Chains A and B, each alone.
Chain A
Amino acid sequence: MSLDKDQVQHIATLARLKLSAEECAESVEKLSRIVEFVAQLSQVDTRGVLPMAHPLETAQRLRADAVIEVNERDRYQENAAEVSDGLYLVPKVLD
């Protein structure tokens, strides 16, 4: 099964990736090969097999709903491109 340019563009949009025309053409070719490669799984008889979501047979551990971290917002925001008064700035969302 191979993918076409529109499908790849749709996937890129879902993944929030802007691709150049060249990247898109290359992705059509390489993603098609990957999808063909993994498609061999469809041949396997998996009737009655439970999907394995986790490598160990264990239950999800829960912790008490308590505050365990101190607020270090300013320090964490040192890695942000643009902040103001503790808020992250992005291009205008509402007109």
Chain B
Amino acid sequence: MSLYSQTLTELAVGLENGEFSSVELTQALLDRIAVHNDKLNAFITVTAEQALATAARADAARSAGNAGVLNGLPILHKDIFCTRGVKTSCGSKMLDNFVSPYDATVVERLADAGAVVLGKTNMDEFAMGSSCETSYYGPVRNPWNLECSPGGSSGGSSAAVAARLAPAATGTDTGGSIRQPAALTGTVGLKPTYGRVSRYGMVAFASSLDQAGVITRSAEDAARMLGVMAGFDERDSTSIDTPVPDYVASLGDSISGLRVGVVRQHFDEGLDEQCGARVKDAIAVLESLGATTVEVDLPNLDLSVPTYYVVAPAECSSNLSRFDGVRFGYRAEGAVDLLDLYCRSRGEGFGDEVKRRIMTGTYVLSAGYYDAYYLKAQQVRQLISDDFKKAFADVDVIAGPTAPTPAFKLGEKVDDPITMYLNDIYTIGANLAGLPGISVPCGFVNDLPVGLHLVGTHFGEETLLRCAHQYQLQTDWHLACPQGFV
């Protein structure tokens, strides 16, 4: 089997057995990126030289008997993770000139495990978007249909993994930005529990919602990556000090007796009928493995999108106030005074969607509106979180669709922010409640992939990954490769 079509787990075995070296593997994937990336625009930066040097070090470490758990394995980073000595743009003109002076904890941990970074992936500007069309570097295209979006905001990561340009890529998820692009590209996308993976060095969007995770082609690979990325970090004040289980070790355990919640409100008119049918088929597969299904209610599901579009912009307006044209980032030319410097640097450096969210956030936090919008949204957030708590009294995981439709055409929703926002209706709840979620490929509609979404309890990643892995042992949707990338 060609190197590029293998999963991280398979490649690890090949490296271990000396079938190929990390330098050979790295070069093969860099060659593939050079051939295919023009079609996809999945990368903002390809770090070929550094990758080959890291691969050579990994090969030497293996020879010396010092191989880390991801030794010599190629991965990608979403361009939201600070990477020392490498441009970290966050998909924005604002940071087009920013070379990070330090590594994010996620970057550091994966490097310590021996992973080889091939490049930084394209994304919606500051992770604000569901289609990768807000990127300063142009939209990413979906390998399953080049006229379609790969989802967003981690769309460069999802497109690259789907097109077999790398077996794994990091992502971030504030309202669905890992799981929705995974669903739209037929990949696996895991958003861990809030606090499970350090946010240090991850450019902040909405700090009470942001969480780092991973996009892979199998749940087993996601388990491997999470095992390295997860864990307490004293540099992130919201990082949780709880032990990291061996996610790979329990993958083989049966899901017999697992209680799977099926949400009544998930199969309403908002969901594409054929997508709904694929998801129901997937739930039937879980039942055939001995899981039992229980109907549950999330009565405030419809309120999750408006709640999110108060909380997230509010936090973003605060987080993005650091971009002032003074210490780093874009600076406007010829400012007449300090205020002019701030306003013009920000006005010229940020794109439309980012400005829209900063202004929404500024508005809901401003005098006279705070109670009506921000405080109210925090209260509704509590109601939504309570709904999950009630549902999880009776079930171990909640299963449903990841996105309401398969991949949509580029340009189709770009002029209508509300329609774009509603794409995240099934994923946002997990962010508001801080719960882990995973999207797993579960079939196709009109030759476009569909994702099964599983949500677990706080720190319930083991159960999610096991459930997803057992499903993938029975199905082969995740093995399908987009035409043109075989």
Contact = CB atoms under 8 A, between A and B. Distances in A.
Q: Are A and B genuine complex partners?
A: yes
Interface of A: 3, 8, 11-20, 23, 26-27, 30-31, 33-35, 37-38, 40-42, 44, 46, 49-56, 58, 60-61, 63, 72, 75-82, 88, 90-93
B234 to A, nearest CB: 7
A90 B378 contact: no
A6 B218 CA distance: 52
Contacts of A52: 378-379, 381-382, 385
Interface residues of B, number: 73
B326 A88 contact: yes
Judged by DSSP, the binding face of B is: helix
B376 A17 contact: no
A44 to B, nearest CB: 5
B323 to A, nearest CB: 9
Contact of B417 (A30, A53, A77, A88): A30
Given A31-B359, A93-B338, A79 B98 contact: yes
Interface of B: 97-99, 101, 193-195, 208-209, 234, 237-238, 240-241, 300, 303, 306-307, 309-310, 317, 321, 324-329, 331, 335-344, 346-348, 350, 352, 355-356, 358-360, 362-364, 366, 372-373, 375-383, 385, 417-418, 421, 431-434, 458
Contacts of B434: 55-56
Contact of A54 (B208, B344, B458): B208
Nearest to B323: A16
Contacts of A37: 306, 309, 418, 421
A11 B369 CA distance: 12
A22 to B, nearest CB: 11
A90 B385 contact: no
Nearest to B336: A91
A19 B347 contact: yes
